[in-house]
A and B are shown apart, each in its own frame.
Chain A
């Protein structure tokens, strides 16, 4: 049978999916064991046991000074920044994207401006943000918003324009006003696409979050990683990276689920 027609069954599929993870883990364990055999004080590839100890220390032991559980405090701080920034970006993108996609006048006014702004490298703006907005939460949230909003706006405006012209004309022949077309025809059809856009911008959002936290913060996942880097504390950095990855994966999955549940027609209409 041709390779293109050979589909793994459920178990085989699961095994295949696990395989790369297992291989990476195995490579790490072997490499770590070899380095530790040479030099038991090696910090670069700590053993799984050392990592486990570090996890217990940051996640399940209260900090003697502050009484906080470091990992959860960091997670909360980071997620607060991320969530407020993404909420703000999504709202701006929804309004601007819809207007640009639907109204030729607004498109003429804003499309090239947004296109230009989206090319500004956000990290180059970070110093400006720190100078103007100070080192507090505002500048970090602003960096994420500046980083992902132009992309979301352009994506959404394109999705609006992708709606078949026939649908808009059909709505006009039902007597719909611009407002009614936006509300009943365009908005419900771009919401699931907006969710997909937000999913795609999770990666960049985390990038900007960690960059901002690395430079100026006193809590947060990015702050912690860059703090313990000074002590070469790989046993903390590695679990933190894994935890950040896991958080993104969970958010991505939850958003996809939300889209499927809230917009059951979307899967079939694609």
Chain B
């Protein structure tokens, strides 16, 4: 159970104020979508949560404790690009997430431990729909497959918080539907909170429990430097999604088909 609190957060680059006095409080196991116009500081906010970037003022607490000073295994991440390692196969990429904690000196597992980790990795690879591609290198995968691989790799390490920066931005709508269903499934089954940056409002509302919009209140060119983005909207998604309880009612017509859904046309229902 991981709660995230953001208190009084400011971020400035030189003279430019990017984020201005952000207060947020994410409940454990929430799925938060961050939306907002380009350049308003969504990536910056995510990078602060990742400890890649330091806040100018204010602080971030995870379960009441201040954020560690550098990225760590408690926060997983999937970037828009470059999230997987080009020199490892699909299996190698996912396996790495088990080899690193398991073998501090060699970074490699051998024998029974390796077989066990491999089994777990293969199961996860199957879950993200990459069965058959285990021995391929990322360069031979499509963009959507690479993002699914990145997800599997991040999940394998069992992070408490998963940070996603426009992970599905480059994918076509069809594949996006599949990957949304996968994302929801993973969120339901893994003990984690998710913070996802997206440009796609529909994506935000189909996945998240809460949608937060960043916006610059003043955006005239002479004011832009001196006023950062604040939270313009903070919307609880309705009907409520609850982690670990996939919805039983069918998803809406345009939404992703969650694998747990039994549709109106499902023959299994008719035969009852």
Contacts and interface: CB of A to CB of B under 8 A. Distances in A.
Interface of A: 164, 166-167, 169-177, 179-180, 183-185, 188-189, 263-266, 268-269
Nearest to A184: B107
A171 B75 CA distance: 11
B246 interface: no
Given A173-B50, A174-B153, A269-B138, A185 B85 contact: yes
Given A263-B87, A264-B137, A175 B100 contact: yes
Contacts of B27: none
Given A169-B77, A180-B104, A184-B107, A175 B87 contact: no
Given A170-B84, A177-B104, A269-B137, 17 more contacts: A166-B81, A169-B71, A170-B77, A170-B153, A174-B73, A174-B76, A176-B107, A179-B105, A180-B107, A183-B106, A183-B107, A185-B85, A265-B87, A265-B88, A268-B137, A268-B140, A269-B138
A259 B73 CA distance: 33
A164 B105 CA distance: 24
A269 B73 contact: no
A159 to B, nearest CB: 13
B139 A269 contact: yes
A189 B82 CA distance: 14
Given A177-B104, A180-B104, A268-B137, A172 B70 contact: yes
A37 to B, nearest CB: 60
Given A167-B85, A183-B107, A184-B107, A174 B139 contact: no
B72 A172 contact: yes
Contacts of A169: 50, 52, 71, 77
A61 B225 CA distance: 82
Contacts of A175: 72-73, 100-101, 157
Contacts of A188: 87
Interface of B: 50, 52, 70-73, 75-77, 79, 81-88, 96-97, 99-101, 104-108, 137-140, 153-154, 157, 159
A115 B50 CA distance: 34
Contacts of A171: 85, 100
Contacts of B83: 166, 170
A16 B42 CA distance: 55
Nearest to A175: B73
A255 B96 CA distance: 29
A260 to B, nearest CB: 13
A185 to B, nearest CB: 6
A265 B137 contact: yes
Contacts of A189: 85-87
Chain A interface mostly: helix
Contacts of B84: 170
A265 B100 contact: no
A145 to B, nearest CB: 29
Contacts of A266: 87
Closest 3 CB pairs of A and B: A268-B139, A175-B73, A269-B86
Given A180-B100, A189-B86, A172 B140 contact: no
Given A166-B79, A166-B83, A173 B100 contact: no
A183 B76 CA distance: 21
B77 to A, nearest CB: 5
Contacts of A265: 86-88, 137-139
A102 to B, nearest CB: 14
A174 B84 CA distance: 12
A102 B7 CA distance: 33
A150 B49 CA distance: 39
Nearest to A183: B107
A266 B157 CA distance: 26
Contacts of A268: 86, 137, 139-140
Most chain B Cβ neighbours within 10 Å, of A173, A179, A183: A173
Contacts of A164: 81-82
